[in-house]
Amino acid sequence: MAERKPIESWLTDMDGVLMHEGIPVPGADAFVKRLRESGTPFLVLTNNSIYTPRDLHARLSRIGLDVPVANIWTSALASAQFLDEQRPGGTAYVIGEAGLTTALHDIGYVLTDVEPDYVVLGETRTYSFEALTKAIRLINDGARFIATNPDEIGPSAEGALPATGSVAALITKATGQKPYFVGKPNPLMMRSGLNAIGAHSETSAMIGDRMDTDVRAGLEAGMETFLVLTGVTKAAEVDRYPYRPSTVVDSIADLVERIA
């Protein structure tokens, strides 16, 4: 295996890596502090499209993690950037919350239910049967189908919640049309994030807690990958996958000293 170049920039997932169920993972504060003090380019990524970067900055700040708004990259932002490149100034019917609608407004998209160019599906706390019916009819009438991410479930204090991937499957079953998923594990989200901080995959690393999204996305984007065991994927599950992370560590605390 060819030796990789030194890591000059870092991308890290948020839930399961920096925080778990609203509580910071031990070492996360030291990791973020080291990144900021060293001036190392970095991004905190999330497939969740509910919140704006400003919202996430505030949520992280409340638990002692000072991540600037400019260093937060969401599937909503990646989806908006993708649509802006594909069809600038277009129209969309959106099922989602402020993170997604704000991102689309910011690129100049018009949100409408009248002959939209796209139906864009993201997370929401309340999936409306009326909204899903509208989306199905619009797709049947020719709207293109985009989804922010393929995550099938999301966490909550009460247990698992249906997420974008599950709802997308319902719409696909009703229309016969599969969405284009922009978020992880699509390497498009990683590459757009790298471009946002002026980084290159050959000298960048991805930290995640899930083999199926974080590690796969980093691998397919050509990055060095680190799996932490503080989230979804457990140590015993790693060998079940046909691909491997570059390195498996117990937690983000083990990577603080890797920052140059």
Distance CA 54, CA 228 (A): 26
- How many residues does the structure list for the chain? 260
Distance CA 124, CA 100 (A): 10
**Catalytic choice (15, 29, 117, 151):** 15
- Residue corresponding to tokens 């503080």: 230
137 sits in which H/E element: helix 129-140
Catalytic annotation on 15?
Answer: yes
User: Which of 68, 57, 36, 146 is CA-nearest to residue 100?
Assistant: 146
* Cβ(228)–Cβ(207) below 8 Å: yes
The residues facing 145 across adjacent strands are 119
**Catalytic choice (13, 29, 117, 151):** 13
Q: How far apart are the first and last CA of the chain?
A: 23
User: Which of 183, 158, 161, 174 is CA-nearest to residue 73?
Assistant: 183
Q: Indicate which residues carry an active-site annotation.
A: 13, 15
